[in-house]
């Protein structure tokens, strides 16, 4: 499952929206292609959501003590006021000392006035999003001033991501080909072509870092965060995680409940669900978000999806018909590398704009240009911002790390094309516009070179201090039901609801949400469970 947080005001990457799911990788896909990981009773129980994450012993094992004794050497980096350091973690926690991972850490120290409260770690999601990029572009300068005054703002790029030994899979031209793969295959030849694309992607990842690829799970990253916490000198972890970052934060709480400080999990995921259910729920989430966009669009003069009074259903039919036309005949974009706008890139561009309603005017303009003027440049730009493709044709490692983590964290959504075909009706019911493409997208980890190590599980974090779980009612990437589920699982969970559109809630314009979270971060006062804001 690929879920990302949009960066507001400024972003760690170009474009209007960031950190979420897309055409080829939107699924909570995970696993190896030919292993049936649900064969064991334990796995079946986990897929039913009955397994639970077990807390680690409180005492630090002797083999890990050198890692916990580290003192980071900070140096100036990036924009003024930011410092960077490197912290080591064991590649394999089952064999500490037999190979390390170098984790990149950045911070911006508390500005004052007021007593320093410690470090506040932030993570924007993904998996695969650069926390350091997020810190330097947004959180370190755009979080509420009173929060930045009292906390050292800190980010760690997770293992395999960005500055922390990044996983690499394909070069720029190869990624261009991959992102244009047809994810709505019409016949066996096109199915075979999609499978070939998935295999080539997986083989590229496996060739680059075969050992690291076995050790980029969310559990391992959560354990890394505890080493960083100690290195920063904090007794407890204070943390704001968005989107996939909620899964990471909840995992930390499940492993180290006694070390939980003030945790905010914004745009929450439900760790108890199997991959296929996550994919299906997210597909429905995109449909909900699209309908909200469609209702807004048809109220505007010149909406390309229909005039005033056009129903969301009819607007969706018009968009799907446009996608079908692009599948047969892509339109020009003016791209220097000769890319044309086909169905896959167009779908990604639309999905990218679902994460933040502030991107809706841009999407409306891009759809107007593509549908009425045969100009696909606007939708291509949205797609490129989503994939983090630079103007020179290079890609960040976001999509590579995303697959690497997802494919390790859960058993697969589908073992092969036949399973996708059987599931198509359910996905198309969940979203007539996006369902077919997102169902086939969920196949992408079926050919992964590394077996999964995780299973769906409940996280209770018994004994942890209050944890604030935030859900947005019309969130496209992390449906609101996931926030309710996670808050119910956590023994100390407090559900905070934003009745609105877009992905995540903190810092998105709701004074009610921001006041509640700021009060918790600054004074340790959690909101009343069930509090609603708009």
* Half-sphere exposure in the Cβ direction for 301 (13 Å, CA): 0
96: region left, alpha or beta (phi > 0 left; psi from -120 to 50 alpha): beta
Which of 117, 464, 425, 424 has its CA nearest to residue 265? 464
Q: Whole-angstrom Cα distance, residue 487 to residue 62?
A: 34
Q: 372: Cβ–Cβ under 8 A, 6 or more apart, which residues?
A: 304
CB contact set of 290 (below 8 Å; sequence gap of 6+): 312, 316, 319, 350, 354, 431, 433, 434, 476
Strands 100-108 and 151-156: antiparallel
- Answer whether 387's CB lies under 8 Å from 348's CB: yes
Contact criterion met (CB below 8 Å) for 284 and 294: no
Q: How far apart, in Å, are the Cα atoms of 193 and each of 43, 185, 450?
A: 31, 9, 22
Distance CA 57, CA 48 (A): 26
CB under 8 Å to 148, separation ≥6 — which residues? 108, 110, 111, 140
Query: So which residues are the catalytic ones?
Result: 243, 475, 503
3-state secondary structure of 499: strand
Q: Is 241 helix (H, G, I), strand (E, B) or coil?
A: strand
């Amino acid at each position: 499952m690929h879920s990302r947080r949009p960066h507001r005001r400024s972003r760690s990457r170009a474009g209007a929206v960031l950190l979420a799911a897309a055409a080829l990788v939107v699924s909570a896909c995970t696993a190896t292609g030919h292993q049936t990981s649900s064969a064991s009773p334990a796995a079946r129980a986990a897929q039913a959501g009955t397994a639970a994450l077990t807390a680690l012993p409180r005492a630090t094992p002797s083999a890990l003590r050198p890692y916990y004794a580290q003192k980071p050497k900070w140096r100036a980096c990036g924009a003024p006021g930011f410092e960077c350091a490197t912290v080591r973690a064991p590649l394999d926690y089952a064999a500490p000392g037999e190979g390390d991972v170098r984790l990149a850490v950045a911070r911006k120290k508390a500005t004052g006035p007021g007593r320093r409260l410690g470090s506040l770690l932030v993570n924007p999601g993904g998996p695969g999003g650069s926390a350091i990029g997020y810190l330097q572009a947004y959180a370190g300068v755009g979080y509420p001033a009173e929060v930045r005054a009292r906390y050292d703002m800190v980010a760690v790029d997770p293992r395999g991501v960005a500055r922390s030994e990044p996983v690499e899979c394909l070069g720029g031209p190869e990624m261009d080909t991959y992102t244009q793969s047809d994810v709505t295959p019409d016949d066996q030849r096109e199915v075979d072509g999609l499978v070939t694309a998935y295999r080539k992607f997986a083989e590229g990842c496996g060739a680059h870092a075969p050992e690291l690829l076995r050790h980029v799970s969310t559990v391992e990253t959560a354990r890394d965060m505890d080493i960083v916490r100690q290195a920063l000198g904090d007794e407890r972890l204070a943390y704001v995680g968005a989107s996939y970052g909620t899964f990471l934060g909840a995992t930390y709480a499940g492993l180290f409940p006694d070390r939980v400080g003030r945790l905010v999990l914004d745009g929450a995921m439900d760790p108890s669900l199997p991959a296929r259910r996550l994919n299906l729920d997210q597909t429905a989430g995109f449909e909900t978000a699209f309908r909200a966009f469609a209702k807004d669009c048809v109220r505007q003069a010149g909406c390309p999806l229909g005039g005033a009074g056009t129903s969301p259903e009819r607007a969706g039919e018009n968009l799907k018909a446009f996608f079908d036309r692009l599948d047969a005949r892509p339109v020009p974009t003016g791209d220097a590398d000769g890319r044309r706008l086909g169905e896959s890139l167009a779908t990604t561009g639309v999905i990218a704009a679902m994460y933040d309603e502030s991107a809706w005017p841009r999407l409306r303009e891009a759809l107007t240009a593509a549908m009425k003027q045969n100009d696909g440049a606007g939708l291509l730009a949205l797609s490129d911002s989503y994939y983090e493709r630079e103007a020179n044709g290079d890609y960040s490692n976001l999509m590579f790390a995303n697959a690497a983590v997802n494919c390790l964290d859960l058993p697969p959504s589908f073992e092969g094309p036949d399973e996708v075909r059987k599931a198509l009706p359910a996905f198309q019911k969940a979203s007539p516009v996006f369902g077919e493409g997102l169902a086939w997208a969920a196949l992408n980890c079926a050919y992964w070179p590394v077996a999964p190590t995780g299973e769906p599980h409940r996280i209770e974090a018994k004994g942890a201090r209050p944890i604030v779980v935030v859900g947005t009612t019309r969130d496209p990437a992390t449906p609101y039901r996931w926030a309710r589920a996670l808050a119910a699982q956590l023994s100390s969970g407090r559900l905070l609801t934003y009745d609105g559109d877009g992905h995540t809630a903190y810092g998105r314009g709701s004074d009610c949400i921001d006041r509640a979270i700021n009060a918790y971060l600054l004074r340790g006062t959690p909101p009343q469970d069930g509090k609603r804001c708009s």
